[in-house]
Amino acid sequence: MRYGIGFKLGLLLAAFGIVAMSIVGYYSYASSRAMLLSAAQRDLLTATQVLGRSFQSSIDEIAGDALLLAKLSATPAIASSPTGVTADRDKELLADTFAAMLAVNPQYFQVRLIGAGAHGLELVRVDRDGDRLVRVQAADLQEKAHYPYVFSTLQLGRGQVYLSDITINHEEGAHSGLHKPTVRVATPVVAQDGKVLGLIVINLDLNGLFDRLKSDLPNAYQLYLSNHWGDYLIHPNPAQAFGFEQGRRVLIQEFFEPVTALITGKSGSVVTNVEVEQQANHGLVAAFVRLPFAGSIDQRFVILGLSQPLENVVREAKKLGWTTIQMIVALGVLAVLLAALVSRVVTGSLRSMVHAVGLFSKEQVVSELSSARKDEIGLLARSLNDMQITIVANLRELNESRQALKHLAQHDSLTGLPNRALFDDRLQQAVSQARRDQTRLALLFVDLDEFKAINDTHGHHVGDLLLMAAAQRMEDCVRNVDTVGRLGGDEFVVLLTHVEEEQDALVVAEKICKTLNQPFELDGRHIHISASIGAAIYPAHGSDELTLARSADAAMYLSKEEGGNRVRLCGDEK
């Protein structure tokens, strides 16, 4: 049986069309998969960085709680005279304070006051025991002087904080905290004469803290945490965590090899894909960051990471690939039957589609393919148009999510002002610019006087309204080129660039002080507050960011000690 040239040409064109469409489909699938994977890696790294900053902020808040407890009047009184009727009343008051702090901080296992004498005997201790808070009675209080967190903290000075390694708590009688991962945050209790009387210790529930921080992330995200050697401290499989407690080493760099760069200090963050054939999802997309922990990042640090199944990332690309295969098969059958009549149209249309898909893959330029035809070629063109629109929309949504996460990481969620991280970056840039241009700038530390009393009297809602109103007033007092930031609580900072004279900075500071002293009408209440402001000038009061900040902070505390509602320039002791 002889086949005519028309049939052979039709068969050749059909075969060519199928091959061409297969290439288009595969190229589209591969490009879409690569773009989705790249976007997922960026978003996962951003989420990991945000989670890391939240973890560091939480540790700072816990340290603040410990410092607050150490400054209570009852704390040094008990530590210096642990016996007697007066001491018993103070212990009851301090135990109630400990219980209140545990009640509002579910991530705390235990709060203790330990004396410097009597072999580090616990003086006041409140534990979490399931849903209950238990005050440990005198007969069950233990001696702790042999623990590193005790004798290390006793060597610190006033206002310093000790942060222990992350370990399993083996202290007997620890109630809910026993055999659980914990971090101990401690600070010394210091008498007026500088003598160390004891220490305040807060035991942190590490898993509980990360469960709270991770609550806003997608459920598919899995959390990893390791120490600076790479030992897992948190792992999706709990059996892999704290292997060194059972005499074995389970290291994060053995599974995620690129993490070695974080442990050796060659990089601050990594993203990686891990193909795991024995797992149902056939791989993971993961991002890791190196975080400082209780000091310099070169001395003590942890590795924090998030992962998600690779299947979740490329699912849409697989759907597109399967749809493309189905379309190729359907159009191939039609091409065999109708190739003799539509060979030119098919060839021309396919070339247009290949060009459009290639342009979209390389430059993300959407080319509108002609979809007026009612046959399979028109269907393919419409599908490719829909594919381009869908992918562009997905990329736009991913970019918007990334921008939102970036804004959240750099700005205070209540006032919208730059947070500590963003303000520190702007301060560093401003100091560098001033150093190059040999100009001056000013740094103001602003602390609202008696803000805690307003919170206690009118509630946190009114306190939040007051912080937002105060932030707006401060922004109204400065130029657009200046920066107002919030460090946390009722502490704000103001960066004034291009300051000609010290008096210029003091004029702005006085303006802020006066405007904050004006009454606030908030939620039907008449609120009055004042501010203590400390000012420091670069380079007169500091040639770098840290020294300048310390100078402004010291001036602010001088202002507060003098009764508040005033401005003090660094070095001005009047």
Burial class of residue 464, CB neighbours in 10 A (0-12, 13-18, 19+): middle
pLDDT at 296 over 50: no
Whether 318 and 363 map to the same domain: the answer is yes
Residue in the block written with tokens 């238990």: 134
- Cβ distance 101 to 65 under 8 Å? yes
What average pLDDT does range 360-364 have in this prediction? 63
pLDDT at 269 over 80: yes
Domain extent, residue 31, equals 5-58+313-409
- The distance between the two most distant Cα atoms of the chain, rounded to a whole number of Å, is 117
Whether 442 and 397 map to the same domain: the answer is no
Least confident among 248-262, 318-332, 340-354, 551-565:
340-354
Whether this model's pTM surpasses 0.75? no
pLDDT given at position 86? 65
341-358: pLDDT as tens digits: 655 555 566 666 666 666
- Answer yes or no: is 514 within a domain: yes
- Answer yes or no: is 112 within a domain: no
pLDDT at 15 over 80: no
The 3-state secondary structure of 106-161, one letter per residue = CCEEEEEEEECCCCCEEEEEEEEECCEEEECCHHHCCECCCCHHHHHHCCCCCCCC
Alpha-carbon distances, residue 270 vs 253, 260, 265, 286, 289 (angstroms): 12, 10, 12, 8, 7
- Answer yes or no: is 336 within a domain: yes
CATH number at residue 541: 3.30.70.270
Whether 433 and 358 map to the same domain: the answer is no
Higher pLDDT, 278 or 324: 324
**Mean pLDDT computed over every residue of the chain:** 83
How far is Cα 147 from Cα 165, in angstroms, rounded to an integer?
12
How far is Cα 162 from Cα 202, in angstroms, rounded to an integer?
11
pLDDT at 491 over 50: yes
**197 closest CA partner among 120, 99, 97:** 120
- Answer yes or no: is 199 within a domain: no
Whether 514 and 488 map to the same domain: the answer is yes
Write out the two tokens for 33: 């998969």
The number of domains in the chain is 2
29-43: pLDDT as tens digits: 677 777 878 888 888
407-459: pLDDT as tens digits: 677 788 888 899 888 889 999 999 999 999 999 999 999 999 988 888 888 88
- Answer yes or no: is 549 within a domain: yes
How far is Cα 102 from Cα 132, in angstroms, rounded to an integer?
10
pLDDT given at position 5? 45
When pLDDT is cut at 50, 70 and 90, the band that residue 531 belongs to is very high
How far is Cα 348 from Cα 342, in angstroms, rounded to an integer?
10
Whether 329 and 460 map to the same domain: the answer is no
Alpha-carbon distances, residue 81 vs 75, 115, 117, 192, 487 (angstroms): 10, 10, 11, 14, 37
How far is Cα 501 from Cα 504, in angstroms, rounded to an integer?
5
Alpha-carbon distances, residue 84 vs 75, 103, 141, 314 (angstroms): 15, 28, 17, 69
- Answer yes or no: is 253 within a domain: no
Instruction: Give the end of a domain, one of 345, 379, 409.
Output: 409
pLDDT at 273 over 80: yes
- Answer yes or no: is 23 within a domain: yes
When pLDDT is cut at 50, 70 and 90, the band that residue 244 belongs to is confident
pLDDT at 280 over 50: no
pLDDT given at position 367? 64
Instruction: Give the angle 152-156-159 at the CA atoms, nearest 5°.
Output: 130
Whether 440 and 550 map to the same domain: the answer is yes
Angle between helices 310-363 and 376-410 (to 10 degrees): 110
- Cβ distance 287 to 256 under 8 Å? no
Instruction: Give the end of a domain, one of 339, 374, 409.
Output: 409
- Answer yes or no: is 372 within a domain: yes
Residue in the block written with tokens 């009343």: 89
Instruction: Give the end of a domain, one of 386, 409, 432.
Output: 409
Give residue 566's Cα distance to chain centre.
35
**186 closest CA partner among 66, 299, 288:** 66
Percent of all residues in the chain with a pLDDT value above 70, rounded to a whole number: 82
Alpha-carbon distances, residue 373 vs 12, 113, 346, 368, 381 (angstroms): 23, 81, 12, 14, 9
Whether 457 and 362 map to the same domain: the answer is no
User: Is the bond into 539 cis (omega within 30 degrees of 0)?
Assistant: yes
63-113: pLDDT as tens digits: 999 999 999 988 898 888 877 566 788 889 999 999 999 999 998 999 999
Whether 545 and 481 map to the same domain: the answer is yes
pLDDT given at position 297? 39
**301 closest CA partner among 208, 233, 368:** 233
pLDDT at 574 over 60: no
What average pLDDT does range 476-504 have in this prediction? 91
The 3-state secondary structure of 277-343, one letter per residue = CCCCCCCEEEEEEEEECCCCCCCCEEEEEEEEEHHHHHHHHHHHHHHHHHHHHHHHHHHHHHHHHHH
What average pLDDT does range 282-306 have in this prediction? 79
Whether 495 and 460 map to the same domain: the answer is yes
Whether 318 and 368 map to the same domain: the answer is yes
Whether 425 and 405 map to the same domain: the answer is no
125-152: pLDDT as tens digits: 999 998 899 998 888 899 888 999 999 9
pLDDT given at position 4? 47
Whether 346 and 481 map to the same domain: the answer is no
